[in-house]
Amino acid sequence: MSLVHVTWGGVWFSVPFFLVFCFDFSVYVDSSKSTPTTHNCKMSLRYKLSPYNIALLLYPTVYIGSIPLTLLLKQYNQYIGQIFFVRFLEQYLVSNNGYLWFTTLYWLVVVFTAYLPNRNRDFLIFYTKIYLINTIWIVVLLEWFFGSPIFERISVIAGATCSIRGIYREYACKQSGGVWTDPFDSSSHYTYLISSSLLIWHLFLNHVTWISGYFPKHVIDLENSTHYAAPNSITVNDVKMDSNRIFRTIIEVIAVFILIMWFISYTITSVFFHTIPEKFVGLLCGLFVPIVLKYIK
């Protein structure tokens, strides 16, 4: 069985796991009233649908929803990449400068919305850990992992070859004048766009007042049947007294614009680029750090 078949089968197999991660399911069994002959087990299911969990669900939902469109519109794949707007996104916001954009936005938002308002060093330490974990994860997947990165190793296992014998790395093959044939190209776009977007959204939903302040009125905490409240956002009075308010607002507006552009790029990639299994690998890898951060202290 090929890697493609294994991955395609994993799409449907892994759907329940997305729900488990995103809704924080926990099952409790109450057997306190049991008798020697009868066991009355009361099972309750608790889950919490927070704004961040909604964001986590958004990307796999778009991926699954795009599958019919991918099959229906595949004849247009070769033309989409020639559109100016798509080339602009690819060249300036994703491939060439993507991680630079993420790094810049991430640290600006961390410093001006999480750290400076209350000089909270715990926030600074926490988000530094998240950034380092995400960077190491991206490097291991896309750049280096004791030689070839993980995505390239997957390609080689799937049958990627160089026209020059003895070369097993894509960049070495091209530098030597060879042709790299890759039957399975894991979607690095998916991985980057998902992880970068969700990490920025995590900051926004916890520390940006005009975003986090929206949710107490509109989003229900299903675990407690109460309105959701962002735990770390600063108050309106804090904003008024904050000398960095104007600069911070500019940063937030730019960040929201970039997030929108990234989501458009993600949607275009979902429909027109890569195969369904290739995007599935990128989806899993992109969700890894945003899910893990919920368990980092």
Largest Cα–Cα separation, the chain: 77
- Give the pLDDT mean for 195-215: 82
Tell me what pLDDT residue 284 has: 96
The token pair that represents 240 in the structure block = 């008024």
Percent of the chain with pLDDT over 90: 45
Q: Are 95 and 187 in contact (CB under 8 A)?
A: no
Tell me what pLDDT residue 294 has: 84
Tell me what pLDDT residue 25 has: 38
Tell me what pLDDT residue 213 has: 58
Q: Which residue has the higher pLDDT, 294 or 260?
A: 260
- Give the pLDDT mean for 180-188: 89
Q: Are 203 and 293 in contact (CB under 8 A)?
A: no
Per-residue pLDDT tens over the stretch 249-264: 899 999 999 999 999 9
Please, which pLDDT band fits residue 140 given cuts at 50, 70 and 90?
very high
| Cα–Cα distance, 173 to 167 (Å, whole number) | 6
Angle formed at CA 11 by CA 9 and CA 16, multiple of 5 degrees? 115
- Give the pLDDT mean for 177-188: 90
Predicted confidence (pLDDT) at residue 153 exceeds the cutoff of 80: yes
- Least confident range from 24-28, 50-54, 67-71, 183-187: namely 24-28
Provide the Cα torsion 253, 291, 184, 97; round to 10°: 30
The token pair that represents 258 in the structure block = 């970039």
Q: Which amino acid is at 268?
A: I
Tell me what pLDDT residue 171 has: 84
Q: Going by C-beta distance under 8 Å and a sequence separation of 6 or more, which residues neighbour residue 295?
A: none
Per-residue pLDDT tens over the stretch 59-118: 999 999 999 999 999 899 889 989 999 999 999 999 878 899 999 999 999 998 888 878
Name the nearest CA neighbour of 206 among 103, 129, 126: 126
Rounded mean pLDDT of the chain?
78
